[in-house]
């Protein structure tokens, strides 16, 4: 370790190289709690050798070339808010902490784009854009913590993805250091027909194919109007029918958040909608949506209730930022919680939900909530179990989760639509992609012959 740190200090300022045990422990784990790991598939963990905090693409390149020379793994680290273990230290490695690469390099209003370093925190970037009349379209629950590069690496979905798209869909061009130290630059244009789209190597790649250092992403004019509404339906099926009708009529709310309390069916199902942008169009869309909801028997909730939901949507991330270890150790009290976020054909959602309820019941775990995010195809469930009810509660919960995900795959759906794969879902990648996983592995071997870039993630 001392030898590696000594050599690194010739490449990057020693002030930005850390061997502090507490700091390394913090960087060795992300937001995947211990309770959400299958007890029979616990990943092997290791303390990082050191952490480096580069401030430029050139410094990242130096570190990557050094890691190849020394055959030392690298783990890119952004905000550490990933929920699937994509930033876990599974081998003694160098953690590349990108959070000092946080500068906004250029805002181009005429092009509706911003060029920014990958370590910029989403909330800080949004605040910078707000000052000149724009917003960042990506708005996940982790916005106070997550970085631009991290969000791209999982192709995450935010609250307002209904009109702005996923993080990956907002990427125009990027710069990345590939695993052997070469630099990849892609052109920051909205469309090209000159070869394959190389942005896709890094979007959803979880740092396995390179380290993103700079990005050009779309920005959007600050909405002139925002209308927030909430509706209560008698049950999930009625609310789902209304949502389907909205999408058939090509209504696209900026935010759609729908959930049914499965432990109290009499509570019904709540739908929150946000329409924003042009005042006239937003008002018309809200009126059309309200009429559709009423035709399916909904009752409109007080506006202050909907506005509270909108205002508090990032609070869970702020709590995480205050105590990361609390998140990691969740489950040590014998109470386990997990969820699925899956993509299905909209014609299969209700069928899957009924089958899922039977699976959950058979495993003896509790289904707490089922719902949708952004669009009818993106379906979620929150589950829980507690020691003694059932026996082996964590195992029962994770076995239920795995059976649910395999059912999704058998119904031609995808096992995850927003949080990535990391180590948690890696065992299911072969079923998800078939021979496609081998194609990814061949690309990985070609670009990363020494297997130094975030090894052990995504089934690689």
The model's pLDDT over 236-256, given as tens digits with 9 standing for 90+, comes to 999 999 999 999 999 999 999
Structural domain boundaries enclosing 65: 2-99
pLDDT at 452 over 80: yes
CA angle 49/142/409 to nearest 5° reads 90
The model's pLDDT over 60-103, given as tens digits with 9 standing for 90+, comes to 999 999 999 999 999 999 999 999 999 999 999 999 999 999 99
The model's pLDDT over 95-135, given as tens digits with 9 standing for 90+, comes to 999 999 999 999 999 999 999 999 999 999 999 999 999 99
Query: Do 253 and 209 fall into the same domain?
Result: no
Query: Do 16 and 29 fall into the same domain?
Result: yes
- Mean of all residue pLDDT scores within the chain: 96
Number of domains composing the chain: 3
pLDDT of residue 287: 97
- In a domain, residue 138? The reply is yes
Query: Do 104 and 91 fall into the same domain?
Result: no
pLDDT of residue 331: 87
In this structure, the number of other CB atoms found within 10 A of the CB of residue 400 comes to: 26
Distance between CA atoms of residues 414 and 339, nearest Å: 14
pLDDT of residue 214: 98
DSSP letters for 23-86: HHHHHT--S--GGGS-TTSPPP----SEEE---SHHHHHHHHHHHHHHT--EEEESSS--SS-T
- In a domain, residue 193? The reply is yes
- Distances, alpha carbon 308 to alpha carbons 100, 315, 350, in Å: 33, 11, 29
- In a domain, residue 349? The reply is no
Please tell me whether residue 367 adopts helix, strand or coil conformation.
strand
Please tell me whether residue 247 adopts helix, strand or coil conformation.
helix
Sorting pLDDT into bands at 50, 70 and 90, what band is 392? very high
279, 313, 347 — which closes off a domain? 313
Query: Do 114 and 216 fall into the same domain?
Result: yes
22: CB partners within 8 A, 6+ apart: none
DSSP letters for 400-437: HHHHHHHHHHHTT-BS-SSS--TTTSGGGHHHHHTHHH
Are the C-beta atoms of residues 261 and 369 closer than 8 Å to each other?
Answer: yes
Sorting pLDDT into bands at 50, 70 and 90, what band is 190? very high
Distance between CA atoms of residues 428 and 413, nearest Å: 13
Query: What CATH number does the domain containing 47 carry?
Result: 3.30.43.10
pLDDT at 360 over 80: yes
Could you tell me which of 307, 254, 257, 255 has the C-alpha nearest to residue 277?
A: 254
Sorting pLDDT into bands at 50, 70 and 90, what band is 379? very high
99, 120, 135 — which closes off a domain? 99
Which one-letter DSSP state was computed for residue 169? G
Query: Do 232 and 250 fall into the same domain?
Result: yes
The order of strands in the sheet holding 211-218 is 104-108, 113-117, 211-218, 171-177, 183-185
Q: Do you find a cis peptide bond into 390, omega within 30 degrees of 0?
A: yes
Query: Do 188 and 202 fall into the same domain?
Result: yes
Query: Do 257 and 238 fall into the same domain?
Result: yes
Calculate Rg over the CA atoms of the chain. Answer: 22
Query: Do 58 and 132 fall into the same domain?
Result: no
Q: What share of the chain is helix, strand, coil (3-state, %, to 5)?
A: 40, 25, 40
The model's pLDDT over 416-432, given as tens digits with 9 standing for 90+, comes to 999 999 999 999 999 99
- In a domain, residue 12? The reply is yes
Residue length, the chain?
A: 460
pLDDT of residue 323: 81
pLDDT of residue 324: 80
Query: Do 107 and 216 fall into the same domain?
Result: yes
Query: Do 124 and 230 fall into the same domain?
Result: no
DSSP letters for 315-330: HHHHHHHH-HHHHHTT
99, 117, 142 — which closes off a domain? 99
Query: Do 93 and 104 fall into the same domain?
Result: no
Are the C-beta atoms of residues 183 and 175 closer than 8 Å to each other?
Answer: yes
- In a domain, residue 37? The reply is yes
298: CB partners within 8 A, 6+ apart: 231, 232, 233, 238, 239, 242, 271
- In a domain, residue 340? The reply is no
Query: What CATH number does the domain containing 276 carry?
Result: 3.30.70.3450
- In a domain, residue 175? The reply is yes
pLDDT at 327 over 80: no
- In a domain, residue 25? The reply is yes
Query: Do 212 and 144 fall into the same domain?
Result: yes
pLDDT of residue 329: 86
Its sign, for the CA torsion 313, 319, 325, 329, is negative
Query: What CATH number does the domain containing 175 carry?
Result: 3.30.465.10
Could you tell me which of 92, 65, 306 has the C-alpha nearest to residue 179?
A: 65
């Amino acid at each position: 370790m001392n030898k590696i740190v000594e050599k690194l200090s010739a490449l990057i300022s020693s002030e930005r190289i850390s061997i502090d045990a507490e700091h390394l422990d913090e960087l060795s784990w992300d937001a995947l709690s211990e309770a959400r790991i299958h007890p029979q598939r616990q990943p092997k963990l290791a303390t990082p050798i050191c952490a480096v905090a580069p401030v430029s693409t050139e410094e990242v390149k130096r570190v990557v070339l050094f890691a190849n020379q020394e055959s030392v793994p690298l783990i890119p680290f952004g905000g550490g808010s990933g929920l699937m273990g994509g930033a876990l230290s599974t081998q003694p490695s160098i953690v590349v902490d990108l959070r000092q690469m946080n500068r906004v390099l250029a805002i181009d209003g005429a092009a509706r784009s911003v060029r920014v370093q990958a370590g910029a925190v989403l909330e800080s970037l949004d605040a910078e854009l707000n000052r000149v009349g724009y917003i960042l379209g990506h708005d996940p629950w982790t916005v106070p913590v997550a970085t631009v590069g991290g969000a791209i690496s999982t192709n995450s979905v935010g609250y307002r993805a209904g009109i702005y798209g996923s993080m990956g869909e907002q990427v125009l061009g990027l710069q990345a250091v590939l695993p052997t130290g070469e630099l990849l630059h892609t052109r920051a244009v909205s469309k090209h027909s000159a070869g394959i789209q190389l942005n896709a190597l890094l979007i959803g790649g979880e740092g396995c194919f390179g380290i993103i250092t700079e990005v050009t992403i779309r920005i959007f004019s600050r909405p002139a109007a925002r209308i927030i509404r909430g509706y209560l339906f008698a049950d999930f099926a009625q609310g789902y029918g209304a949502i389907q009708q909205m999408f058939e009529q090509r209504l696209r709310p900026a935010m759609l958040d729908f959930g049914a309390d499965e432990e109290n069916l009499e509570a019904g199902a709540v739908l929150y909608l946000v329409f924003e942008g042009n005042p006239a169009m937003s008002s018309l869309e809200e009126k059309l949506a309200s009429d559709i909801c009423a035709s399916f028997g909904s009752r409109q909730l007080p506006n202050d209730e909907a506005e509270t939901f909108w205002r508090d949507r990032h609070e869970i991330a702020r709590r995480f930022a205050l105590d990361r270890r609390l998140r990691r150790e969740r489950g040590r009290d014998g109470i386990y919680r997990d969820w699925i976020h899956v993509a299905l054909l909209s014609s299969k959602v209700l069928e899957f939900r009924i089958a899922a309820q039977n699976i959950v019941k058979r495993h003896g775990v509790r289904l707490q909530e089922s719902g949708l995010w952004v669009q009818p195809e993106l379906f979620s469930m929150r589950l829980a179990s507690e020691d003694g009810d059932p026996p082996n509660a964590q195992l029962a919960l994770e076995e239920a989760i795995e059976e649910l995900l395999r059912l999704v795959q058998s119904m031609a759906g995808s096992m995850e639509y927003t949080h990535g794969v990391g180590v948690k879902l890696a065992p299911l990648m072969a079923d998800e992609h078939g021979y496609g996983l081998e194609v990814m592995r061949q690309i990985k071997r070609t670009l990363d012959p020494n297997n130094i870039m975030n090894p052990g993630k995504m089934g690689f």
